[in-house]
Amino acid sequence: MVKLVDTKFIGKKYGPTKYEVGREKIKEFAKATGDMNPRYLDFDAAEKEGRPVIAPPMFAVVYAKDVIEQMLLDRELALNLMMLVHGEQEFEFGVTVKSGDLITTEGVIKDIFNKKGKDFVIEETVSKNQNGEMTVRGLLTFVIRGS
Amino acid sequence: MSIKDLNVGDAIEEQKNQVGKYQPIYYAGAGGDFNPIHIDPEFGNMVGLGGNILQGLCTMSFVAKAVVDNAGGDPEALKRIKVRFAKPVKPLDTVVVSGKVVEKSDTEAKIELSADTKNGEVNVISNAFAVVRL
């Protein structure tokens, strides 16, 4: 079986990218996923208590998106997007993300391997808030079917 | 019943998510994944998917929500989550998220998770778990 993606790209880095979290985007995301948790949506209560609303844990996909896109569209890596599926996803959460946070994300290709005629590309993303505290570590597995 | 009160082997409360016809489009706007397989039924047909499919990460949000809601609605309780996207979810599917406690200590619980459509006939999320802070 011919290896489709070169393992020399293991260790290749992406980012850093920056994302400023806003409460309207949090609301849009929560509603699009059918999640009406007041911790994300009750702006009045948050204002009354003088605190920002928090983002859903899965909001990580919004602020980490750009580094993932950088890898997917990396011309040197040249992934076949027509044959690519998102196989697995893992998130490990650190400090909570709140409206007003400025999140910096960096990505790195952790592994590339071939199994049963399919290529597996694993990217790790690490996101930190404006205080340098980790908000999330993501591990994405993309599977590329051989054509 | 919150995860705090559950023991190893106990099931969490099952959650049903009715996928809207246009939900992949709303999720594309909110999450940023505008891949045509998600927003264009014709394209989905052309590549053999039988129409457009929901973004896997949106299904993962359903799973995360089920865990958070079972942890008393506290999003900060979710420490870790992992899923495998086994099969596609389609608009108008009902995604049922289920899980059970497989490990528990004084500070954390590990929940094994699964999600199905078509009345349990299609397993869409497998090899999944979450770790919850107690």
- Residues B89-121 have pLDDT tens digits of 999 999 999 999 999 999 999 999 999 999 999
- Indicate whether B12 belongs to any domain: yes
The whole-number pLDDT of residue B40 equals 96
Q: Which positions in chain A touch B23 (Cβ < 8 Å)? A: 32, 34
Active site residue B106: no
Query: What is the number of domains present in chain B?
Result: 1
- Indicate whether B51 belongs to any domain: no
Interchain CB contact of B21 with A (< 8 Å): no
- Indicate whether B98 belongs to any domain: yes
- Indicate whether B40 belongs to any domain: no
Task: State the ipTM, two decimals.
Answer: 0.96
- Indicate whether B70 belongs to any domain: yes
The whole-number pLDDT of residue B47 equals 87
- Residues B16-27 have pLDDT tens digits of 999 999 999 999
pTM here is 0.96
Are the Cβ atoms of B68 and A61 closer than 8 angstroms?
no
Structural domain for B88, as ranges: 3-19+59-133
**Domains of chain A and CATH, by start:** 7-21+54-144 (3.10.129.10)
Are the Cβ atoms of B68 and A37 closer than 8 angstroms?
yes
- Indicate whether B44 belongs to any domain: no
| A74-83 long-range contacts, CB within 8 A, separation 24+ | A74/A12, A74/A14, A76/A9, A77/A5, A77/A9, A77/A12, A77/A109, A77/A121, A79/A5, A79/A121, A79/A142, A79/A144, A80/A4, A80/A144, A80/A147, A82/A147, A82/B47, A83/A144, A83/A145, A83/A146, A83/A147
> Of residues B37, B53, B111, B125, which has the active-site annotation?
B53
Mean pLDDT for chain B overall: 96
- Indicate whether B76 belongs to any domain: yes
Q: Tell me which chain A residue has its CA closest to the CA of residue B124.
A: A87
Q: Which residue stretches of chain A have pLDDT < 70?
A: 1-3, 147
Looking at residue B64, what DSSP letter applies? H
- Indicate whether B27 belongs to any domain: no
CATH of the domain at B93: 3.10.129.10
